[in-house]
Amino acid sequence: MISKLIPDAYYHSIEEIPYTTLYDHQIRLILTDLDNTLISYRKTEPTEELFRWKNQLIQMGFEIILVSNSRKKRVEHFAKLLDIPFVKFAKKPLKFGLKKAIKSASFKVSKEEILVLGDQLMTDVFAAKRMNLKVFLIQAIDSKTEVWTTRMNRKLEMHFLKKIRKKYPKLYEERLKEYAEGPHDRTEM
Ligand SMILES: [Mg+2]
């Protein structure tokens, strides 16, 4: 099971991801988490940077779908403002939400064409890996705003990170060390 908690890569922010390379490698659909991956929970509107990010990716030929575990109106609100489709109450790490999003894509998409983005091992990475999808772990924007379920997941994360370090030292070093041992979110930097 713990191999399913190892992301394909770790990035400090969504802006750092090499989208051109991904496009060259046939990635076409991006399924992204909302809170603390794209935007701080403190924000009620998308930032200028987020609009720019989205526009740039759409222009490059990617399709983006929000997949959030949140049940709040907030998901819909952001999706509307950004003009992208969404799945809320996705129940990650269950496959349900990601599957629903894939089905709703505007084209028939194969697994090799999908990239999942998220800031949590226990939900985003685990859900993606259970479906054998490529997933990048993103440093949380502002972990102080995390809800209680997320705070519980963070404790679980620490437990599994130690196991991964023992069993897969090389992968841990490459993809998780910085995440595990660095500042937990960007506001702490
Ligand atoms: Mg999140």
The tens digit of pLDDT for each residue in 78-120 reads 999 999 999 999 999 999 999 999 999 999 999 999 999 999 9
Give the count of domains, the chain.
Answer: 1
Interval 19-33: pLDDT, tens: 999 999 999 999 999
Domain with 108, as residue range(s), is 2-188
Q: How far is the CA of 122 from the centre of ligand 1 (A)?
A: 10
Amino acid in the structure at residue 58 = I
Q: How far is the CA of 176 from the centre of ligand 1 (A)?
A: 17
pTM of the model: 0.95
- Domain containing residue 172: CATH number: 3.40.50.1000
The CA distance from 184 to 189, in Å, is 9
User: What's the average model confidence in pLDDT over 122-142?
Assistant: 97
